[in-house]
Structures are given as C-alpha cells and as structure tokens.
Amino acid sequence: ETGVTQTPRHLVMGMTNKKSLKCEQHLGHNAMYWYKQSAKKPLELMFVYNFKEQTENNSVPSRFSPECPNSSHLFLHLHTLQPEDSALYLCASSQGQYQETQYFGPGTRLLVL
Amino acid sequence: AQSVAQPEDQVNVAEGNPLTVKCTYSVSGNPYLFWYVQYPNRGLQFLLKYITGDNLVKGSYGFEAEFNKSQTSFHLKKPSALVSDSALYFCAVRTLDNYGQNFVFGPGTRLSVLP
C-alpha cells in the first residue's frame, strides 16, 4: 500500500468550505485515477489522467475539480460540496491507462456536514 | 454497455472450507478481468487478473479464478478459507470498444469466514 499514498485519511468539511485531497504514487506509473466509493453502491470512476492529461471525466459535478501537475501527483479540489458527496475517495495508478493493474491508495473518508 | 454483476451481497463460509465468490460480466469485445479485495479502512488490493491464455488464473494469498467465456463468468475461488480472508471483494472488467476504454467494477461481495 505504500506505493500509493493519500492525504488526509479523514476529512470533515462544511458545505461552504474549500478543501483538497492529495494523492501521490511512488511506482513510476503514467496513469492516475479518482474513484468514489459510497455505501451500497459500486465503485464510481470519476477522473482519469494519462501522462498528466485528463482523458476521462465521468459526468462529475463541477464542485469536484481535479489537478495533475505531474505523473506522480493527483489532487481533487473540493468546493461547496453536498452531504451526498460524503464517501470514501480512492486514488489509483497504473503503468498505462487501463492496460495494467491499478494500484489503490488507502482512501480519504470524507464527511460533508 | 459494459457491466459486472456480483449476484451475492454476502457470502459466509466456515474456516477450512472452500469458498467461491461469483462474478459475471457483460461486455462487447474481449474482456480483461480483475479481482480486488478491500479490507476495512483500506484501499483496494489487486488479487489477480485474466488477460489471455489459461482460463485458470492463480493470484495472491492462495486465490484463483476461472474464466468461462461461454458463461461469461470469472468466479473467485480458494480451496481452504481463512478467517483473515474476511473482506469485501470486487470483480472488475476492462474493455476496449468503439467508444474507447472502459473500466467497470462490480458492486462487491462481502465475505465472512467463520472460525
């Protein structure tokens, strides 16, 4: 699990707050992903970056804003979230986009009040 | 559209008994199939994958899975369950079709191994 790290591990925020989730991978991979895991729902792919370029945005609301400054770092900026956005947010990376096994971070558990 | 089904929300098995966690898929094209495990308060961990070749795939921690193209299934198995195998298991499929690449997870199956 130390290959992909995420901070913070837990976050509580109000609906008017702005916060950011950080993901870092130490595996030399070129692709990174954000997933949302809600209770009793399948894992939802949010964003995909390949070589720092966003290649997929699965109809995610604009209150979620990703940033990938380099192949090792991925951020998810949060602004004016809703209580239904409370979930576990997982970051993953892979050598190539989709073509190889994805390695997941431990996740950030987000609670929006 | 691609989809992955895990028909059982929960599987209970006694320690030492064989276990099976079921997965079926619906894709257009040749699937790449994966199994992941998630322990409490942890991210997903890769167990095994099928890309091509032998239909029986062996993975981490003694798990294996059998790809059955005619039944579009990729069930996860282990000959002898351990209490430490208790976790949430996800099946996933990657496909490439006319709309591009797609990576879809199943809803997950919670495995409880009873001592």
pLDDT digits (tens, 9 = 90+) for B1-23: 678 999 999 999 999 999 999 99
Sign (positive or negative) of CA dihedral B34, B38, B42, B48: negative
User: Which 3 state secondary structure label does DSSP give B106?
Assistant: coil
- Gap from B10 CA to chain A (nearest CA, Å): 12
Return the bridge partners of A53, or none. A50
CB atoms within 10 A of CB A76: 23
Contacts (Cβ under 8 Å, ≥6 apart) of A61: none
Least trusted range by pLDDT, from A18-27, B29-38, B95-104: B95-104
pLDDT value of residue A98: 62
Residues of chain A under the 70 pLDDT cut:
1, 98-100
**Higher-scoring residue by pLDDT: B86, B43:** B86
Question: How many Å apart are CA B69 and CA B111, to the nearest integer?
Answer: 25
pLDDT value of residue B31: 84
Name the residue facing A104 among B43, B94, B108 (closest C-beta). Answer: B43
High-pLDDT (> 90) share of chain B, %: 69
Q: Strands B56-58 and B100-105: what pairing?
A: unpaired
User: Which 3 state secondary structure label does DSSP give B83?
Assistant: helix
Question: How many Å apart are CA B95 and CA B93, to the nearest integer?
Answer: 7
Question: How many Å apart are CA B27 and CA A7, to the nearest integer?
Answer: 35
Q: Are residues A86 and A36 in contact, defined by beta-carbon separation less than 8 angstroms?
A: no
Q: Mind giving me the DSSP string for A88-105? A: EEEEEEESSTTTS--EE-
Q: Give residue ranges of B with CB < 8 Å to any A CB.
A: 4, 34, 36, 41-46, 49, 90, 94, 96, 101-108
| pLDDT above 80 (res B77) | yes
CB within 8 Å: A92 and B44? yes
Across chain B, what does the average pLDDT equal? Answer: 89
pLDDT value of residue A40: 72
pLDDT value of residue B98: 54
Residue in A3, A1, A16, A22 with CA at minimum distance from that of residue A89? A22
Question: How many Å apart are CA A53 and CA A96, to the nearest integer?
Answer: 13
B chain contacts of residue A6, beta-carbon cutoff 8 Å: 43
